[in-house]
Amino acid sequence: MAIKVRYLTHPQVAVDPAVPVPLWSLSAIGAARVRALAGSGALRGTRHVISSAEVKAVETAEPLARALGLPVVQREAMHENDRSATGFLPPAEFEAMADAFFGSPDMSVRGWETARAAQARIVAEVEAVLSGPLDGDVLLVGHGAVGTLLWCALSGQPISRSHDQLPGGGCWYGFPLQGRIPESGWQAMETLSPPGKTG
């Protein structure tokens, strides 16, 4: 049986500067996108749902797992790159920091976890998940920055923000368990379609 692995990021969140970023929830738009995917049948064949323990990731994973009749396995080390040194940043400042994060992967920018360290962490976590006994497709639910770093590692590409997910999040890419080479770049979650259908 050819097992497929999909990495899916949480979609839009409700930004609240007073709340630590890992505790942010999905916005109404983000939650609606997750409900639509859960009801689409696109993830039939999935037998394992593995999620970052951040609230927005769990809120993405749980409706999808519930529709599949599966539990969610949370893994703390699948979290987004550690930005706790700065906490919430206004959008323009955040974008500049993200550029610096990807652009200088071995440097800690204003105390952020380095991109190289975040990449090593997410690769190790994913390898730990995929080395276990698996009886069907795997859905990994996480975050854009570490998901991009994982994509770069699996694709043999240098760390670069040019491979980042689409605006708004809720993006995915897939790769076979054997070989682990991504089949595409990021795609919107709405492009997932039920097995046996195209589009």
What would the two tokens of residue 66 be? Answer: 């519930």
Q: Which neighbouring-strand residues pair with 131?
A: none
Return the pLDDT at 175: 98
User: Residue 166: what residue type?
Assistant: L
C-alpha span between 5 and 13 (Å, rounded): 24
Q: What is the mean pLDDT of each run of 10 residues along the chain (199 residues)?
A: 94 95 97 98 97 98 98 98 94 97 97 98 98 95 98 98 97 97 98 73
Sheet-wide strand order for 4-9: 72-75, 46-52, 137-142, 4-9, 171-176, 187-188
Q: Please answer whether residues 156 and 2 qualify as being in contact, where contact means their C-beta atoms are separated by less than 8 angstroms.
A: no
What would the two tokens of residue 65 be? Answer: 């797992």
Nearest residue to 109 (alpha-carbon basis) of 85, 133, 126: 85
- Give CB contacts under 8 A, 24+ apart, made by 189-193: 189/8, 189/11, 189/33, 189/37, 190/33, 190/36, 190/37, 192/6, 192/37, 192/40, 192/42, 192/43, 193/40, 193/42
Domains of the chain in start order, with CATH, are 4-191 (3.40.50.1240)
Nearest residue to 30 (alpha-carbon basis) of 5, 67, 55: 55
What would the two tokens of residue 5 be? Answer: 């692995």
C-alpha span between 119 and 152 (Å, rounded): 9
Q: Looking at residue 3, what DSSP letter applies?
A: -
Return the pLDDT at 199: 43
Q: Please answer whether residues 129 and 114 qualify as being in contact, where contact means their C-beta atoms are separated by less than 8 angstroms.
A: no
Say what the pTM is: 0.96
Return the pLDDT at 193: 85
